[in-house]
Amino acid sequence: MRYVAGLDGGGTKTAVAIADEYGRVIHEFVAGPLNYNGGEEAAIRATLAQIYEVICHECRRHSTERGAHEDASGHVDGARTIPATDEDEGCSVICIGAAGISNPLVSGRLTSGLREAGYRGKLVLVGDHETALCGAHEGLTGMILIAGTGSIAYGRNSDGKTHRAGGFGHLIDDEGSGYSIGRDLLSAVVKADDGRLNPTLLSGLVYEWLKLETISDIVGFVYDKNRGKKDIAALAPLLSVACDAGDAAALAIAEKHAFSLVETAAAIVQKLDMANGELALLGSVLQRNRQIREAFETMLREKFPMLQCIDGKKDAAYGAVILALDAL
């Protein structure tokens, strides 16, 4: 029996799924982050070593339990003492999906880290949007739209053609993302303060969330050199609260970002000629903000009446398993 492993390497954690050659998951676990953008190399190498140790242990354990079961069933001679090989009980393919994988420095370090840990099998390195697609559709084809801290759309059609739209970072892109929404909430607060915008519930919500009191405090928070995009994105859930209360500024922000996400998704649908397909909606913005999701689906339906929006079927770690099985 051969085994594969799929890794969804994130900035805060890595989800790992181990499966046999038939795609049956035998073990899942969570390890530390695999993020070379801000992560320490020594810590990442330690994480890779830990992950590979667990993979080896679980593959051997499953192989042993399987052998014992077959022996009890009379299918295998219990007296056989042929030593197991890597092909029998080891991991034949590991697939890692992570952001920034196209950077040779990142892919090279991930590769050397696993080799240093002792792994000698096949290694597949892909972007996390690829593993997300495969997990969401439980297969190699389909379309996804992710709106979390950042935003990106990606698809692969039945001819194997792929296309990506968005995902080029918060400074020049990522409309419809948690970061972009958080930025617009902060913008609404300062505009309401100086009279460019009518008073909005967002002001009180933002002040309360950040435990701040003045516009100067807001400016200090935003331009603190230690401030990261996740701090801004963390404000995004406040949009739903204000929208539920009928706040005009909040509803306008929701409409704006729903439209931006439609533009991003439409680029994939049109480029891959998949107007009759399924689009999996992923990420906290699309899964938790009712107003944006409803507005998005309404606008998208006007452009592509036959397109179906679905929730993802499996996670990106299982998507990495699918790509590992394809390589196997």
What backbone torsions phi and psi does residue 226 show, to the nearest 5 degrees? -90, 0
- Over 60: is that where the pLDDT of 179 sits? yes
- Over 60: is that where the pLDDT of 72 sits? no
DSSP string, 241-306: HHHHTT-HHHHHHHHHHHHHHHHHHHHHHHHHT-TTSEEEEESHHHHH-HHHHHHHHHHHHHH-TT
Neighbours of 25 (CB within 10 A): 14
State mean pLDDT over 63-68. 74
Give the confidence band of 68 by pLDDT, cuts at 50, 70, 90.
low
Q: What share of the chain is helix, strand, coil (3-state, %, to 5)?
A: 50, 20, 30
Task: Locate 300 and state its tokens.
Answer: 């998208």
Task: Tell me the average pLDDT of the chain.
Answer: 91
CA-to-CA distance for 70 and 86, rounded, in angstroms? Answer: 19
Residue 152 host element (H or E): strand 151-156
Q: Find out whether 251 and 291 touch, Cβ atoms under 8 Å.
A: yes
CA-to-CA distance for 116 and 190, rounded, in angstroms? Answer: 52
Give 188-211 pLDDT, tens digit per residue. 999 999 999 999 999 999 999 999
Give 15-49 pLDDT, tens digit per residue. 999 999 999 999 999 999 887 665 678 888 999 99
What architecture is the 151-311 domain classified under in CATH?
2-Layer Sandwich (3.30)
Are both 3-138+315-327 and 151-311 of the same fold? yes
**Pairwise pLDDT comparison (74 vs 140), residue with the higher score:** 140
β pairing state of 278-282 and 3-9: unpaired
pTM, full prediction: 0.87
In the numeric block, the tokens 């799929």 are attached to 6
CA-to-CA distance for 145 and 132, rounded, in angstroms? Answer: 10
- Over 50: is that where the pLDDT of 77 sits? no
Per cent of the chain over pLDDT 90 is 80
Give me the pLDDT at residue 74, please. 46
State mean pLDDT over 63-72. 67
- Over 70: is that where the pLDDT of 142 sits? yes
Considering only 155-159, 173-177, 276-280, 320-324, which range has the smallest mean pLDDT? 173-177
Give 80-117 pLDDT, tens digit per residue. 332 334 444 689 999 999 988 888 888 899 999 999 99
- The domain segmentation of the chain, as residue ranges, is 3-138+315-327, 151-311
State mean pLDDT over 225-247. 95
Q: Under CATH, what is the fold of the domain 3-138+315-327?
A: Nucleotidyltransferase; domain 5 (3.30.420)
